[in-house]
Structure 1
């Protein structure tokens, strides 16, 4: 049976208010302490995340400068209307004249004219492209459109497209090799059911002998298709004497490390010059990125560990030894010098120095001169086991990454948050039990007071009714 509870009805006391006040007296200071610890810990995790992000970006910039490939970049000039060029690290500096003598193109064949409902004949057709054959069989009910579809849909299509062009003479089957160059010329042999494989009637009307085929090898006979475009190779002449023939318009490593893509034929004896040289600008750009990454790292470190007495702002990592140790190691590496036969033995010798705030500044004039005049010395300063960048990345890698010192610190603070969460849950259960206990105690007291009040009222009524008792009314 349900009971109706109304705390305080017996005693007249605000039992609910009293219990709430007693619980809050325990709860408020606890919540304030826990929240302060959670906020502090969360701020430290966020701050360490910012630090590891800045350190990782700085590490990436240093690793880029520790790469030999950065110092082996070439550049090329000379792209024009006749050809475009590109270069890789294997090319050697030099200049070359190039003349485009011819472009590679694919072959095109056109059939005689047909009406749309004409049949193409019956028999077997074998189409060869670059030594790959496709065989098609016709039963005499196929039109030119059917032949087109059979060629395009064949799974063993050796590399050609079929289409139809309609002119004043009717429909023409057009065959176009997918790839350019003489090697991809089209040959078509026919076994015609009309017993004549050479005439222009029936299926033999589509025969065509590759004009580039080996005359001593078995070959189809009859050229009844019209060649509207011959297959041809691309040809360039380098330095006026060296002829290079290619089945495509892409000449890769005709000049070592250089790719030339022919676009247009030069006029006779007209040439264009290409020049290959070392691209030192990549190093200068990488150094500028490095300086910017270091400055971001340093500014982040200073902000996280700074105490501003004027504003009262305290950095979230003040007092963290990890911050002092990391920045100290980085500064020590950046100030190192190496043994060098030339004048490049430190960052300072490249014009990269620290200002009063500790930020790196780059004297671009000094840097450009050193990179241009002492390129190998610059490479030795940065690249290799004894290079500054290798030492720097070794130092930074101990702090960055999933197994680094910073991540370990972050994991420790996350454990603290987990502990505080458990402590909060445990305390909440304790407060629930306290509230229940207080309500039990106050309800018991309330019931007792109510009973005493009832007894008092009863006794007072009995006394009022005793003989001889005079009631005095005001």
Structure 2
């Protein structure tokens, strides 16, 4: 008779015995799993280090660029009339700006077009400049655009739509009131050279001809409601003209926006933007402090709690910490300021940086000297600016073959070795379990056979005794 369950033949709790013996074989897994958890924790820690270093690198890189030190703030004494924005490299200055005329677009309006008027025919639109009195028109560089309407067209809206689709440099709108419909046409751009002339073709009906605008040559009822006009202004007493209300090339690095005619000049003041410079420096300090605090916490040993940080004793982390501190405390050459401490930025106990705001404000009164401390590039890292040194160092750290990625690769390799060791332990335990099951199955078979034999003998002895009696 076959044994259906291990232990029935012997009466032993064989499954429990095998399980416990197998667990003994798996005991190394406890250490291996703990090691795996530690490795993953270190991988996560170095991921955080990379993120913090990347942020610090960006903050340092910003301080190496001219744009971080050339910033200006703009103030106007009449913001409703004149404003300015920095659009390039500009110098600190004060400008007196007066506005005599604002740029405007030419606009025309037709007479009322009676309902049902045949608007078939052709209109030709040409951009250009009208002279004073509308007695002469000088075509611009763009080609004339012809608008052709099918004879029998009676919709003024259809004419407006066709004009708008033609990309002729004008926009058309139908105005409707109690007296009827009229067509208003306006230049897309402002300025004298963005005026327009509209001629009716020889095949145009009387209705379509009403929409033409060609003073002196065509008898139409279309009138000019607004002339194309350039902006007229003075800057420090010098007259300037512009087809738009934005003076973009008049003052290098500045765009001056004209919004209103003035009765007295407005003062535009462009001054050095030390507030942004100070913020960029504070961002640099904050980014470093975040790196310093994380590395400090991760590598320290707390004697009171007798607990070590996750990276305590890690040579890479300790080396990184020391290198960053050394660069922050290093000197630069060729400038008024040699050390960060000269600006009021000092290294505190524990490695963090602290800013003396008042001292930094004083230093920023000569921003070119502060810039030299951070951004000077002497061609040699040892004597270049602090931000230049740090940017170069951290770029190397974050490179594909840099220290941080190499460290992560070593953790990946350790994880693979750990996984392989766990697989070996599990495989060895599985073999032990298989062998024990085979052995106990054989034992069960033997015990079952012996038990059956013993039962048979006892039965025979009992029978024999009963027979004898």
Identify if the C-alpha distance between structure 1 residues 467 and 41 changes in structure 2 by more than 3 Å, giving closer, same or farther.
closer
Structure 1 unaligned regions, length at least 5: 212-219
Structure 2 unaligned regions, length at least 5: 129-141, 378-383
Which one is further off, 51-60 or 437-446?
51-60
Q: By how many angstroms is 1:340 displaced? A: 4.2
Q: Is the 8 Å Cα contact of residues 233 and 248 (structure 1) preserved in structure 2?
A: yes
d(CA) in 2 for partners of 1:256, 1:465? 127
2:342 — aligned with what?
349
TM-score normalised according to structure 1 size = 0.88
Are residues 1:365 and 2:358 paired?
Answer: yes
d(CA) in 1 for partners of 2:226, 2:443? 112
Are residues 1:204 and 2:195 paired?
Answer: no
List structure 1 segments (4+ residues) > 4 angstroms apart after TM superposition. 467-471
d(CA) in 1 for partners of 2:368, 2:177? 67
Q: By how many angstroms is 1:89 displaced? A: 4.8
Q: Is the 8 Å Cα contact of residues 110 and 225 (structure 1) preserved in structure 2?
A: yes
Which residue of the other structure, out of 430, 433, 436, is the alignment partner of 1:432?
Answer: 430
Identify if the C-alpha distance between structure 1 residues 468 and 125 changes in structure 2 by more than 3 Å, giving closer, same or farther.
closer
Q: By how many angstroms is 1:271 displaced? A: 0.9
2:152 — aligned with what?
141
Q: By how many angstroms is 1:253 displaced? A: 2.3
Are residues 1:190 and 2:200 paired?
Answer: yes
Q: By how many angstroms is 1:233 displaced? A: 1.5
d(CA) in 2 for partners of 1:341, 1:456? 106
d(CA) in 2 for partners of 1:4, 1:451? 11
1:234 — aligned with what?
231
Q: Is the 8 Å Cα contact of residues 192 and 204 (structure 1) preserved in structure 2?
A: no
Root-mean-square deviation (Å): 2.3
Which residue of the other structure, out of 180, 184, 187, is the alignment partner of 1:174?
Answer: 184
2:131 — aligned with what?
none
Q: By how many angstroms is 1:341 displaced? A: 6.1
2:367 — aligned with what?
375
d(CA) in 1 for partners of 2:398, 2:284? 17
Matches within 5 A, 1:52-131: 52-78=50-76, 80-120=79-119, 122-130=120-128, 131=142
d(CA) in 2 for partners of 1:45, 1:433? 34
2:22 — aligned with what?
23
d(CA) in 2 for partners of 1:293, 1:149? 58
Q: Is the 8 Å Cα contact of residues 111 and 205 (structure 1) preserved in structure 2?
A: yes
Q: Is the 8 Å Cα contact of residues 113 and 182 (structure 2) preserved in structure 1?
A: yes
Q: By how many angstroms is 1:305 displaced? A: 0.2
d(CA) in 1 for partners of 2:144, 2:413? 70
Matches within 5 A, 1:300-339: 300-339=294-333
d(CA) in 2 for partners of 1:438, 1:46? 41
Q: By how many angstroms is 1:7 displaced? A: 1.6
1:406 — aligned with what?
404
Q: By how many angstroms is 1:50 displaced? A: 2.1
Matches within 5 A, 1:290-301: 290-301=284-295
d(CA) in 2 for partners of 1:384, 1:75? 24
Aligned residue pairs total 447
Q: Is the 8 Å Cα contact of residues 104 and 180 (structure 1) preserved in structure 2?
A: yes
Q: Is the 8 Å Cα contact of residues 74 and 89 (structure 1) preserved in structure 2?
A: no
Are residues 1:279 and 2:284 paired?
Answer: no
TM-score normalised according to structure 2 size = 0.89
Matches within 5 A, 1:143-162: 143=154, 144-152=156-164, 154=165, 156-162=166-172
Q: State the SS of the aligned residue for 1:286.
A: helix
Q: State the SS of the aligned residue for 1:465.
A: helix
